Amino acid sequence: AKDLGKNNCQFYTREMNACIEEKLVLLEGLRSALDEGQFRLVYQPKVDLHTGRIFGVEALVRWEHPEQGCIGPDRFIPLAEESGMIIALGEWVLQTACRQNRAWQDAGLPPLRVSVNVSPRQFEELGLVQRVAQALSDSGLAAEWLELEVTEGVIMRDLQQAVDKMAQVRAMGVSLAIDDFGTGYSSLSALKSFPISTLKIDKSFVRDLGVSEGDEAIASSIIDLAHRLRLRVIAEGVETEQQKAFLRQNGCDEMQGYLFSRPLPPEQLRQLLLTHAFA
């Protein structure tokens, strides 16, 4: 039994090595991926639950890896964060999303707000506010059509600094949303000092709406809390009519999820907007 344990341990170590090796390979590739143009953005519509209209899109990054094919952000964003690559990647995402949104407006589509994810390290970086201003002026996009989604993690690290930076972003006219709300540990009392406009209910609370009373209680409490703080509230990961019905009945303002649309490449999103706008 002892030998077996030892073998298991060696096997485990080999698996761990494979895992570390994979990380190293991805990390190595990450450095050149930006220069090689291997990243692209897909856009997922956000829909008003009362009017049914698309009022915005969330930009989500994809990595077209030369050997591994399309890699999702959950596999490389953490690596990009650890390595500091997130700063350059984040800047590319901001620039690309702003330019794309301006191009849709120039093409005569009804104006949309584009939301960009900003990870904690990116938010903390000194140049963030300047980078946002630069992306707006380079693209010619008006600030009101840009939103940043930040997680509670951002706020946890240094509350006062986070509030100051949020205020600078707001002062430019850019909106802010708290992403994955309910999964972090930000205190509810801190929430009232954030210059944000939207709370985003994490998809883990949306999944079992209609099934789990606990999750229903959490979702409806977040909706009430948001409204009392005069914030809008959006639910992510909406996949079923049942979830949508619950959210609508409980006063949620907006939704996003596969039920309405998967994240789409720019050209497909344009087609959807065209049919939607003139329907």
- Interface residues with Ca ion (CB under 5 A) are 117, 149, 179-180, 236
Helix axis angle, 266-277 to 86-106, nearest 10° = 40
Rounded CA separation 145/139 (Å)? 12
Name which of 70 and 167 has its Cβ closer to ligand C2E: 70
Question: If you search the block for the tokens 């993690």, which residue do you land on?
Answer: 153
Element (H, E) at 242: helix 241-249
Binding status of residue 117 toward ligand C2E by CB under 6 A: yes
The token pair at 194 is: 């954030």
Binding status of residue 180 toward ligand C2E by CB under 6 A: yes
Name which of 179 and 254 has its Cβ closer to Ca ion: 179
Near ligand C2E in 225-264, by CB under 6 A: 236-239, 257-258, 263
Binding-site member from 33, 54, 61, 191 for ligand C2E (CB under 6 A): 61
What SS3 class is residue 161? helix
Binding-site member from 179, 215, 253, 254 for ligand C2E (CB under 6 A): 179
Smallest gap from residue 204 Cβ to Ca ion (A): 9
Binding status of residue 49 toward ligand C2E by CB under 6 A: no
Quick one: CA dihedral 135, 136, 138, 141, positive or negative? positive
Residue 62 contacts residue 41 (beta carbons within 8 Å): yes
- Binding partner selected for residue 257 from ligand C2E, Ca ion, none, CB under the kind-specific 5 to 8 Å limit: ligand C2E
Give the interface segment with ligand C2E, choosing from 118-126, 162-170, 187-195, 264-272 (CB under 6 A): 118-126
The vertex-252 CA angle with 248 and 256, nearest 5°, equals 90
